[in-house]
């Protein structure tokens, strides 16, 4: 065979079409294909899935809840009513007019003490915040009624009465006599 020299001139065989090798077609066939069919051992499970799917209605997952949504927040004041504690009320065996009146007074006293507006007013007073006129009026009215009921029931809420001493204050002469006494206890 005779040798052919390489030439840079385009020849008759070059038409711009790239020839494909057998190896490149083999690589295309090696791509991962979608698998069809079931995995081994799923014969029993497939029937149960089909039954479960037939029981459910075909729902469009794009459609959400039909419940209306409030676009504006509305705040509703909730009032909490606390029940009267039975431990505070006196136990009544035979109901008399005075005992039932006392029970009503105890209930009213408990309601005043648990009044939510009064509690908020007291909280403001503890934090040294200014009170509005209607808050001051409500506070004065409820505290006056509380004092009346306490007087009727014989309850003293004064702090001065809570700190009582049995000993009357001694005069100056009596104190000196006690100090000079030999039996004086220094403790």
**Model confidence pLDDT, tens digit, residues 134-186:** 999 999 999 999 998 888 888 876 544 445 555 677 788 887 887 777 666 66
C-alpha 181/C-alpha 114 separation (Å) is 55
Q: What is the pLDDT of residue 171?
A: 81
C-alpha 121/C-alpha 142 separation (Å) is 11
pTM above 0.75, yes or no: no
**Model confidence pLDDT, tens digit, residues 48-86:** 666 666 656 666 777 887 888 888 887 766 666 555 555
Q: What is the pLDDT of residue 160?
A: 44
Run of H or E residues at 32: none
Is-contact 106 86, C-beta < 8 A?
no
> Structural domain boundaries of the chain?
97-157
Length of the chain: 187
C-alpha 38/C-alpha 45 separation (Å) is 10
**Model confidence pLDDT, tens digit, residues 93-146:** 555 666 777 888 888 888 988 999 999 999 998 888 888 899 999 999 999 999
Q: What is the pLDDT of residue 75?
A: 73
Cβ neighbors of 111 (< 8 A, separation 6 or more) are 84
In order of 51, 54, 79, 112, the CA distances from 58 in angstroms are 13, 9, 46, 60
The tokens 């408990």 sit on which residue?
110
Angle of helix 97-113 relative to helix 133-153, nearest 10 degrees?
A: 150
H-state helical runs in the chain: 22-29, 43-55, 97-113, 116-126, 133-153, 159-162, 172-180
String of DSSP letters for 62-112: T----S---SS----PPPPPPPPPTTTSPP-SS--HHHHHHHHHHHHHHHH
């Amino acid at each position: 065979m005779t040798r052919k020299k390489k030439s840079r001139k385009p020849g008759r065989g070059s038409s711009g079409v790239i020839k494909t090798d057998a190896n490149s077609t083999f690589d295309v066939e090696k791509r991962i294909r979608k698998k069809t069919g079931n995995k081994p051992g799923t014969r029993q499970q497939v029937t149960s899935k089909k039954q479960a799917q037939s029981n459910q209605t075909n729902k469009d997952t794009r459609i959400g809840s039909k419940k209306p949504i409030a676009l504006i927040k509305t705040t509703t004041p909730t009032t909490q009513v606390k029940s009267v504690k039975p431990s505070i009320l006196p136990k009544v065996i035979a109901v008399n007019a005075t005992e039932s009146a006392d029970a009503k007074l105890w209930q009213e006293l408990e309601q005043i003490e648990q009044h939510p507006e009064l509690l908020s007013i007291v909280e403001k007073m503890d934090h040294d915040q200014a009170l509005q006129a209607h808050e001051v009026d409500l506070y004065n009215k409820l505290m006056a009624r509380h004092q009346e009921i306490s007087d009727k029931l014989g309850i003293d809420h004064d702090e001065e009465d809570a700190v009582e001493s049995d000993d009357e204050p001694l005069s100056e002469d009596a104190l000196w006599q006690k100090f000079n006494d030999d039996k004086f206890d220094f403790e």
